[in-house]
Chain A
Amino acid sequence: MNDALDMGWLVAVYLFMLAAFTGYEVISRVPSILHTPLMSGSNFIHGIVVVGALHALFHATTLAMQVVGFLGVALGAANAAGGYVVTERMLAMFKPSAGRKEP
């Protein structure tokens, strides 16, 4: 909470709004055959929380903070790694008919 980058709440609201539209736009044109991989893919993307957990752990000063920070990093890393593997496995299986060229 004490970082160099001091963001005003207004900037944060703008950022949230634009990011929300981006997510909406990207998903709304997806064929339903990709819904499961996309849910898994977005699950992977919020694994970025591991970065926040690392930040918290590096700033830890007490034992309790270290324990909770450790848990946070472990859970976040599991989210990211697991999300990636499962999504990649699903997507790698999608293949067009032989003879058709991929666009």
Chain B
Amino acid sequence: MISILVDVSGFAAALLFILGMKRMASPATAVHGIWLTGIGMVAAVVASFGYLSAIPVEARPHTLTNVALALTALALGGGWAWWRGRRVAVTAMPQMVALYNGMGGGAAAAVAAVELMARDGGEASVGVLLLVVTALGALIGSISLSGSIVAWAKLDGRLERTFRFRGQSAVNGSVLLLALGAAAWALADPSQLSLAIFFAVALLLGVLMTVPIGGADMPVVISLYNAFTGLAVALEGYALSNPALMVAGMMVGSAGTLLTLLMAKAMNRSLANVLFSRFGDPVAGSTAGVAGHMKSVDARDAALTMRYATTVIVVPGYGLAVAQAQAKLYELVKLLQTAGVAVRFAIHPVAGRMPGHMNVLLAEAGVPYDLIDDMEDINDSFKSTDVAIVIGANDVVNPAARTDKASPIYGMPILNADQARQVYVVKRGQGKGYAGVENLLFYQDNCAMVYGDALAVLNAMVQAIKEQAA
């Protein structure tokens, strides 16, 4: 009877996950989607205490301890994560997602470890396929755990360096073979020693895979490890004969893979290129073709030009979020709207630290999502726009991506901000962008630089327009 309840709630959870994810696919229903999946999760966790009705004889004397341990672990892990998740700043959410994802991978690896340890006790009648699947899940989960922790440290600014050396791919390849060898050993001779070595090598592999990848590529890596964790969970679901884990894990595995490919495509790179290339090295930049010179303009003048324009497109970048200026930007936009200017936001797919991160940052400041356009939707509108204002973005508006074949960002889809009649670029100084490439836009005749901290500049602009009205 109880086992039927467990099975039914597992099925309900899987169904709610699919429905919830479907609803998350549209901004208007997205928040209901996460509620649905949340209900599914709670139901599944509560029902899993029903396993207690069917535990084998050997485990029965430990039931009280195990239940106490389970409740403590749920309270500690869940409580800590809930508390951290409530507090984390929106700018820091990508690394928090990385951390939570790594923990999921670690949990999958732990499930595999317990399953493999159970064999140590003697029950040897398990099929080879099941063992291989369990070990594979353990390997993938461990890579996801250690790799995600490295990704978190990089995004959080705790690990600045990228470690690269000659023959790195060969070394990583050997470590992968070593891990597979250790897995075979642990399966053939299940002892605590062989298991410990297997997991140590698997964790090492995750670290080695992630350290050479630069900070700019971390979103793609996090998304990849998200897919990894999903896959590991699905494989452990098979090991436990738990269809809810299999469905949820595989769904995340495929969705995460697709998301990873979409992100890589938005940066015009292949996944292999992200994982194995040396992108992000300081490039001896091809500054050939830089003609003209940079002009600078006062924030107040720029503000008044926008005030009397008909159409304005705002191109925000991560620099805006770093300066914590989203709310001030929206204040400026509202002033312009009151003055009758049509204002839109143009978001590059990789603006921010993850695709869509910029949308979240703007949403936090209260910007309605229907003012915000994706690159494909708005790129043709720049030609007929009076003013494009670029704030804290650089590489995503660099026309070199269209023209300069020698440039490392050549071929990357960009926002056509350079085609607006007047372009203003709000920027701290004359430095280069994340990719370390000279920006040809800054030298164009229709472009003027507004130097200064984004928040200070926007403040001055708001001030200028208010005084004008008064």
Q: Which residues of A contact B (CB under 8 A)?
A: 1-7, 9, 12, 15-16, 19-24, 26-62, 64-66, 68-98, 100, 102-103
Contacts and interface: CB of A to CB of B under 8 A. Distances in A.
Given A3-B241, A22-B18, A35-B262, A66 B66 contact: yes
Contact of B115 (A44, A56, A103): A56
A37 B210 CA distance: 23
Contact of A57 (B69, B108, B238, B349): B69
A82 B95 CA distance: 12
Contacts of B111: 49, 52-53, 55-56, 72
A26 B255 contact: yes
Contacts, number: 417
Nearest to A71: B110
Given A39-B256, A66-B62, A48 B117 contact: no
What class of interface size applies to chain B in its complex with A?
Answer: 35 or more
Contacts of B54: 4
Interface of B: 3, 7, 10, 13, 17-18, 20-22, 24-28, 30-31, 33-35, 37-38, 41, 44-45, 48-49, 51-52, 54-56, 58-59, 62-63, 65-67, 69-70, 72-74, 76-82, 84-86, 88, 90, 93-94, 96-97, 99-101, 103-104, 106-111, 113-115, 117-118, 121, 123, 126, 129-130, 134, 192, 222-223, 226, 229-230, 232-234, 236-256, 258-259, 262-263, 266, 347, 349, 352, 354-357, 359-360, 363-364, 366, 368-372, 374
A95 B69 contact: no
Chain B interface, >50% SS class: helix
Given A24-B255, A58-B63, A52 B248 contact: no
A88 B21 CA distance: 13
B21 A45 contact: yes
B470 to A, nearest CB: 25
B246 to A, nearest CB: 5
A87 B34 contact: yes
A90 to B, nearest CB: 5
Contacts of A54: 45, 48-49, 51, 70
A93 to B, nearest CB: 4
A42 B226 contact: yes
Of A32, A51, A92, most buried by chain B (CB within 10 Å of CB) is A51
B31 A78 contact: no
The 9 lowest CB-CB distance pairs between A and B, nearest first, are A72-B110, A85-B85, A82-B81, A76-B107, A74-B77, A77-B77, A23-B255, A79-B104, A35-B356
B374 A62 contact: no
